[in-house]
Amino acid sequence: MHIDDSYDVVVVGGGCAGVPAAVQSARAEARTLLLEKGGMLGGTATVAGVNFPGLFHAWGRQIISGIGWDLVKAASEVCGSPMPDFSAPPAAHWQQQVYINPPVFAALCDAAVLDSGAALLLHTMVAAVTASGSGWDVTLCTKTGLRHVGCRVLVDCTGDANTAGLAGAQLCIPAETQPATQICRASGYDYAALDMAAIDGEFRREVAAGRLGPTDGGWDTKRPSVHSWLAQHGGNTGHIHGINARTSEARTDLELAGRRALLRLFRFLRTQKGLENLKLEQLCPECGVRETATIAGRDTVTVQDYTSGRTWPDSVCHSFYPIDLHRSDANGLDCRQLQPGVVPSVPRGALLPRAVPNLLVAGRCISSDRLANSALRVQATCMATGQAAGGLAALAASRGEAVENVRAGLLRELLTAHGAIVPAV
Ligand SMILES: Cc1cc2nc3c(=O)[nH]c(=O)nc-3n(C[C@H](O)[C@H](O)[C@H](O)COP(=O)(O)OP(=O)(O)OC[C@H]3O[C@@H](n4cnc5c(N)ncnc54)[C@H](O)[C@@H]3O)c2cc1C
């Protein structure tokens, strides 16, 4: 892969938001570079095993489409997996999430990025960003040392607002963050044949004795249980509390805590009747992180905005999910459904850090309060904000305008022409 010394747009982070951002920017004819710290695109959807993106539909109609949706649809088609029925509200919101195969999704992301004409650099992090003329000088940390790349507009899709922080943007870092989850895949037993009451009883005794953590195998802190973990053969079931994984140091603590918990749970379970041949088939390479930081944006989506379905004059996309705050007390989850008919939206100002020009943010770290963020952090919304940020970055670069000065109508036209659904204003 050849990398030039300068681009119109540099997108940092090749996850749910970053891939649509880079693809949209390049399809709008901006010279675009996508940087990713790991070896695989897709972010949390692939590397952390959260392979059930949602929600693209609300109340029986599609509310998010475009580049992310096309990739999700293509992944389903390649695997021949059926789509959920979207024609009416489901009994439970998660029933309209689309299950995707992570390796297939990652390969489709590779192809979409390359076909769009964007350049891609894996195994690369940003070490520093410095304002330079009407853009940025970006110092990359590559495997063989530092190198510099210039750009007009930077788009932070790291999920953690890492690049925005380096650029001097004000960040909102909550005192307590939602717990993380280490997803794995277990086999070697027949769930239906297990005596769950006996296993849970033994699990609680081990928790009381301090040899297991209460959320090693489930979310409930009041009544610890391992039944979800066993029923789902691993999956999205444990909680790791008390680590804000925004930095490399804390991220290291998190990965170690996740694997430590899994090992002690595995050792315990293998002593239980019916689990003697339990196997851990697959461990996702990274812990799934729900929350670290958001930017202080020109607009901030509050929980009142979200639950009332507020539309701004410059809304760039819809979002749809219950308020879904994972917690360190009670049953581990505060989940509140939206009222019938409510479809929230995201304003352009939530993607724009205050007082830092030529910088955009997309994905889960856009400007939002904690409860609104617990809903809009989901993958469909991240994909939609990514596409919007990529389009806005490309327009600003091609017109030589500051991102905040690009007319909302121009962005709306571009996104619509590229298949996105933009809220009616
Ligand atoms: C356990 C769990 C369960 C969830 N359940 C659901 C669900 O049911 N449905 C749903 O839709 N969503 C769910 N989510 C939320 C959703 O998966 C994430 O919020 C979403 O993927 C965030 O997208 P993103 O693009 O902001 O970040 P990511 O998808 O995480 O992408 C960030 C990318 O940036 C890269 N990166 C990070 N830092 C740097 C850096 N400094 N330099 C270069 N690259 C960098 C990362 O490697 C990654 O590829 C869940 C999340 C978790 C953790």
Report the share of the chain in percent with pLDDT over 90.
Answer: 98
Distance from C-alpha of 237 to C-alpha of 231, rounded to nearest angstrom: 10
pLDDT of residue 134: 87
**Which residue, judged by its Cα, is nearest atom 2 of ligand 1?**
288
State the closest ligand 1 atom to the C-alpha of 94, by its place in the atom list counted from 1. 8
- What's the mean pLDDT in 88-113? 96
State the closest ligand 1 atom to the C-alpha of 17, by its place in the atom list counted from 1. 25
CA of 296 to the centre of ligand 1 (A): 19
Averaged pLDDT score across all residues of the chain: 97
For residues 291 and 364, the answer to whether their CB atoms sit within 8 Å is yes
CA of 399 to the centre of ligand 1 (A): 31
- For 6-175+293-417, the fitting CATH number among 3.50.50.60, 3.40.630.30, 1.10.15.40, 3.40.190.10 is 3.50.50.60
Whole-structure pTM value: 0.98
Reported as a single tens digit per residue, the pLDDT across 10-28 is 999 999 999 999 999 999 9
Residue 172 pLDDT level (bands cut at 50, 70, 90): very high
pLDDT of residue 425: 83
Q: Is the pLDDT of residue 45 over 90?
A: yes
Residue carrying the six token digits 């005192």: 175
For residues 169 and 161, the answer to whether their CB atoms sit within 8 Å is yes
- What's the mean pLDDT in 352-364? 97
Q: Which residues line ligand 1 (CB under 6 A)?
A: 12-18, 35-38, 43-45, 48, 50, 52-54, 97, 125-126, 157-160, 162, 181, 236, 288-290, 363-364, 377-380, 382
Distance from C-alpha of 12 to C-alpha of 140, rounded to nearest angstrom: 10
CA of 423 to the centre of ligand 1 (A): 24
Between 134-143, 228-237, 326-335, the lowest mean confidence (pLDDT) is in 326-335
Choose one of 12, 243, 361, 378 to mutate for the ligand 1 pocket test, by most ligand atoms within 8 angstroms of C-beta.
378
Q: Which of 242, 244, 239, 245 minimizes the C-alpha distance to 258? A: 239
Reported as a single tens digit per residue, the pLDDT across 269-313 is 999 999 999 999 999 999 999 999 999 999 999 999 999 999 999
- What's the mean pLDDT in 382-390? 98
Choose one of 12, 16, 319 to mutate for the ligand 1 pocket test, by most ligand atoms within 8 angstroms of C-beta.
16
- Compute how many other C-beta atoms are within 10 angstroms of the C-beta atom of residue 339: 9
- What's the mean pLDDT in 375-398? 98
Question: Where along the chain do its domains lie?
Answer: 6-175+293-417, 184-283
Residue 170 pLDDT level (bands cut at 50, 70, 90): very high
- Compute how many other C-beta atoms are within 10 angstroms of the C-beta atom of residue 69: 23
First to last CA, the chain: 42
pLDDT of residue 361: 98
Reported as a single tens digit per residue, the pLDDT across 322-333 is 999 999 888 999
**Which residue, judged by its Cα, is nearest atom 42 of ligand 1?**
125
List the structure tokens of 19.
């891939």
Report the share of the chain in percent with pLDDT over 70.
Answer: 100
For residues 41 and 110, the answer to whether their CB atoms sit within 8 Å is yes
User: What is the SS3 assignment for 166?
Assistant: helix
